[in-house]
Amino acid sequence: MSPTTTPAAPRRLTSQDFRTLGLAALGGALEFYDFIIFVFFASVIGKLFFPPDMPDWLVLIQTFGIFAAGYLVRPLGGIVLAHYGDLFGRKRVFSFSILLMALSTLGMAAMPTYATIGVFAPILLVVMRLLQGAAIGGEVPGAWTFVAEHVPFRRVGFACGFLCSGLTLGILLGSFIATIINSVFLPETIAAWAWRLPFLLGGLFGLLAVWLRRWLQETPIFTEMKQSRALVPELPLKAVLRDYPHGVIISVLLTWVLSAGIVVTTLMTATFLQKLYGYTPQQSLAATSFGTLFLIFGTAAAGAIVDKVGSGRFFTVAGVFFGAATWAFYSYAAVSLTVVFVLYAIMGLAVGMVGAVPYVMVRAFPARVRFSGLSFSYNISYAIFGGLTPIAVTSLLAVNPMAHAWYLLFIAALTTGLGIYLSIRGDRIESDAGIEELTARLAKP
């Protein structure tokens, strides 16, 4: 499109668009709950699935290691599911991923502990965690692809941000359920059997999400490609690696930002507040729930803002805000519970910048390989950075009690650097044709 061409007026979101967004976000929330509920009961699970004479610090590291196993298998699950998503349709894969998640979560609810079957207990735990990882590997990239191909072009940021809010709602639901469990039951009861309840609920939530996705329709873009025989004629991942290496690099780095924001500030902080700052499990989970509520609003707002200002300007400013908010939280969290709540709210809004990440990622690849390109980049990055972050940060805490805060300060600098880079490259898109323009720019070696 020439610089003087006036873009056509963008189509507004319709009731069908909102219905699609709502169903996709709700299903994603229920599946994400299944994947992350593990971390809220890491301390209990560690005591039940490892030898009782093992030191607490080693139990914590090994428990987070099992949590990480779900991330390490995500690339394989994501690649396989995305392959079929690019060849046979987004909707089928979208439904299968959540069914796999529901069944594996129900399996975790029924598992015997170390006291019953010894060393086979942690092995079974790892197997169920691997199945969960394979499922979530196709869920998030599939969800972003699905909604981005349903809504009007100039609303892609909002759609992806709204979906991220839904995924974050799954974290809030997990925190809420964990808070209730810790408030209603005594620690002895939780260790005896009540820890299984959130996994049982998660499995049932997953089956509900499978039913909800029956009402979704295939994306118009995939349907058009199928009818016009424009589907990629070769292995989609091969085309991604050959033709769009720069898109992969950009997406990997942005996913690193996303994984750090979610894993450290949300999933690990409930444990930090107990182990490092002296709060009770109930206080820690309540604070996490409060901060996650603001994260939900932050992700939706980030998606809406990035539609207006572009990703370059957005991430340049958001990185600075993120660094200041996270450093303040971990520096003053020990002052009082009131301070924790106030600073967690601010940090939640700052972490909400991750809602703008898929805005760039869905544009880094053309429609015919979008699912595979996005899934490969996202899951490889999450496997490395999301999976190893809990182990690395937990280990470094023995050296520096502010290791988690320093790590997030580095992530903030990376975010701002990516924002400046995107600004220099010119990331504003002025029409639907600009999707392919930006894809070509990002894909240049």
Per the structure, the complete domain to which residue 414 belongs is given by 15-443
Number of domains forming the structure of the chain = 1
* Burial of 396 per CB tally in 10 Å (0-12, 13-18, 19+): middle
- Say if 10 falls within a structural domain: no
Instruction: Please name the residue that has the structure tokens 């690649």.
Output: 79
Query: Whole-angstrom Cα distance, residue 26 to residue 181?
Result: 23
Residue 188 domain-assigned?
Answer: yes
Cβ pair 412, 322 in contact under 8 A: yes
The residue among 255, 177, 212, 267 whose CA lies nearest residue 102 is: 212
Counting other chains too, the contacts that 59-65 makes at CB distance below 8 Å and 24 or more residues apart are: 60/271, 60/275, 60/394, 61/391, 61/394, 61/395, 62/122, 64/268, 64/390, 64/391, 64/394, 65/390, 65/391
- The answer for residues whose C-beta is within 8 angstroms of residue 16's C-beta and 6 or more apart is none
pTM for the whole structure:
0.79
* Residue 336 counted as domain residue: yes
| In a domain? residue 130 | yes
Q: Label residue 342 exposed, middle or buried (CB < 10 Å: 0-12, 13-18, 19+).
A: middle
Token couple for 321: 């805000």
Whether 240 is in a domain gets the answer yes
CATH number, position 63: 1.20.1250.20
Residue 57 confidence (pLDDT) = 67
C-beta atoms surrounding 218 within 10 Å? 16
The one-letter code for the residue type at 362 is V
Residue 2 in domain: no
Tokens of residue 16, six digits: 């069908």
In a domain, 5, yes or no: no
| pLDDT given for residue 435 in this prediction | 43
Looking at residue 250, what is its pLDDT?
92
Neighbours of 80 (CB within 10 A): 16
Query: Looking at the chain, how many residues does it have?
Result: 445
Q: What is the pLDDT of residue 429?
A: 36
Task: Tell me if 307 sits within 8 A of 154, measured CB to CB.
Answer: yes
Contacts of 309 (CB under 8 A, 6+ apart): none
pLDDT score recorded for residue 19: 77
136 C-beta neighbours (distance < 10 Å), count: 29
Query: Digits of tens for pLDDT over the chain (445 positions)?
Result: 334 333 444 567 777 777 778 877 877 787 778 777 887 787 788 788 877 777 776 776 777 777 777 767 777 887 788 767 777 767 777 778 888 888 988 998 998 988 888 888 888 888 888 888 888 877 788 888 888 888 877 888 899 999 899 888 887 888 788 888 888 999 889 988 999 999 999 888 888 878 877 777 766 666 776 666 555 556 777 888 888 888 899 999 999 999 888 889 987 888 888 888 888 877 888 898 899 899 999 999 999 999 999 889 999 999 999 999 999 999 999 899 999 999 999 999 999 999 999 999 998 888 788 888 888 898 888 878 877 787 788 888 888 889 899 999 999 999 999 999 998 876 543 333 334 444 344 444 4
Residue 357 exposure: Cα atoms within 13 Å on the Cβ side: 31
Cα-Cα-Cα-Cα dihedral of 239, 79, 141, 93, to 10°?
Answer: 110
- Cβ-based burial of 399 (10 A; exposed 0-12, middle 13-18, buried ≥19): exposed
Q: What's the rounded Cα separation, in Å, for the pair 113 and 308?
A: 52
Determine, yes or no, domain membership for 422. yes
